[in-house]
């Protein structure tokens, strides 16, 4: 065999090897996509987070003293000490935020798209978007509900939310615990919520809850907060400061 024929044979082998690698790569990608598809939980639908599912929230729920109640630093304790119920933002129709929002006794609707998951809460008519496209928040993205990014892993949806604005009752309005721009909330559905906030918490705090499918045919009801009506209870409160 001449040297030319040797080069031709080697060229054919290289082409065959390249084709085989390409086919194998396509098969591998297909199998990987199939495995990933199997890990995506079916969360779409309307879910019940009301009193029939779990204890209604309050000063000792879901944060139970002696069990999972947040360990506050001196700054948080000082805010808690001077907190006056009359200044709670909820009396001005300001929506609640995580971690309180997830435990409020209302329904929630989940819609799953390829690049995002939509969490629509009956409480306060809030809509959270969990981005699945790997985006990163910018310094311009701070907001009441923060920026949520997530991914599917082990058959669960994992969500991390940062870039919250300061909120005088952003951790727990029942106990007067604030939250800062450093608040970080991680969620795993279904359904563990963990909160970190170096400005107010000495260590992460978490609770576990559950949701059940809503009754068949249920539609989310509009919350429709009226600012004048929401402010009425303040008139009957004994002010902490005069």
Is residue 241 one of the residues assigned to a domain? Answer: no
Q: Give yes or no for a contact between 232 and 91, defined as CB atoms under 8 angstroms apart.
A: no
pLDDT at 79: 94
pTM tops 0.85, yes or no: no
Based on the domain organization, do 125 and 166 belong to the same domain?
A: yes
Based on the domain organization, do 18 and 55 belong to the same domain?
A: no
CA gap 50, 56 in Å, rounded: 7
How does pLDDT run across 84-123, given as a tens digit for each residue? Answer: 988 899 999 999 999 999 999 999 999 999 999 999 999 9
pLDDT at 140: 95
Based on the domain organization, do 14 and 53 belong to the same domain?
A: no
pLDDT confidence tier of residue 135, bands split at 50, 70 and 90:
very high
Based on the domain organization, do 186 and 118 belong to the same domain?
A: yes
Is residue 100 one of the residues assigned to a domain? Answer: yes
Q: Give yes or no for a contact between 60 and 107, defined as CB atoms under 8 angstroms apart.
A: no
pLDDT at 190: 85
Comparison of pLDDT for 170 and 12, the residue scoring more: 170
34 CB contacts (<8 Å, ≥6 apart)? none
Highest mean pLDDT range out of 11-15, 32-36, 213-217?
A: 213-217
Q: Give yes or no for a contact between 90 and 225, defined as CB atoms under 8 angstroms apart.
A: no
Based on the domain organization, do 72 and 31 belong to the same domain?
A: no
86 CB contacts (<8 Å, ≥6 apart)? 234, 237, 239, 240
Q: Is residue 191 pLDDT above 60, yes or no?
A: yes
pLDDT at 222: 94
Based on the domain organization, do 134 and 157 belong to the same domain?
A: yes
Based on the domain organization, do 101 and 28 belong to the same domain?
A: no
pLDDT at 156: 96
How does pLDDT run across 58-80, given as a tens digit for each residue? Answer: 999 999 999 999 999 999 999 99
What's the mean pLDDT when you consider all of the chain? 86
Based on the domain organization, do 31 and 62 belong to the same domain?
A: no
- Compute the half-sphere exposure of residue 26: CA atoms within 13 Å on the CB side of its CA: 5
pLDDT at 242: 76
Mean pLDDT, residues 173-182: 93
CA gap 71, 52 in Å, rounded: 29
Domain that includes residue 212, residue range? 45-236
Q: Give yes or no for a contact between 181 and 163, defined as CB atoms under 8 angstroms apart.
A: yes
Mean pLDDT, residues 164-182: 94
How does pLDDT run across 197-238, given as a tens digit for each residue? Answer: 999 999 999 999 999 999 999 999 999 999 999 999 999 998
pLDDT confidence tier of residue 239, bands split at 50, 70 and 90:
confident
pLDDT at 17: 38
Q: Is residue 15 pLDDT above 60, yes or no?
A: no
Domain count, the chain: 2
Based on the domain organization, do 227 and 142 belong to the same domain?
A: yes
């Amino acid at each position: 065999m001449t040297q030319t024929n040797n080069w031709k044979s080697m060229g054919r082998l290289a082409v065959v090897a390249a084709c085989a690698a390409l086919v194998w790569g396509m098969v591998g990608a297909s199998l990987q996509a199939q495995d990933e598809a199997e890990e995506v939980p079916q969360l779409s639908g309307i879910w019940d987070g009301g009193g029939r599912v779990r204890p209604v929230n309050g000063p000792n729920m879901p944060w139970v003293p002696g069990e999972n109640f947040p360990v506050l630093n001196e700054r948080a304790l000082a805010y808690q000490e001077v907190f006056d119920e009359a200044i709670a933002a909820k009396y001005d129709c300001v929506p609640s935020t995580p971690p309180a929002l997830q435990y409020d006794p209302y329904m929630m609707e989940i819609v799953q798209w390829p690049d995002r998951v939509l969490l629509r809460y009956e409480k306060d008519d809030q809509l959270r978007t969990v981005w699945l496209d790997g985006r990163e928040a910018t310094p311009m993205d701070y907001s009441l509900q923060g920026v949520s990014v997530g991914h599917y892993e082990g058959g669960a949806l994992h969500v991390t939310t940062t870039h919250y604005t300061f909120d005088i009752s952003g951790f727990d309005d029942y106990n007067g615990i604030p939250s800062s721009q450093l608040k970080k909330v991680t969620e795993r559905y279904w359904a563990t919520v963990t909160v970190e906030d170096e400005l107010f918490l000495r260590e992460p705090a978490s609770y576990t809850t559950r949701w059940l499918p809503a009754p068949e045919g249920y539609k989310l009801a509009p919350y429709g907060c009226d600012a004048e009506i929401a402010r009425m209870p303040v008139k009957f409160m004994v002010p902490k400061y005069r």
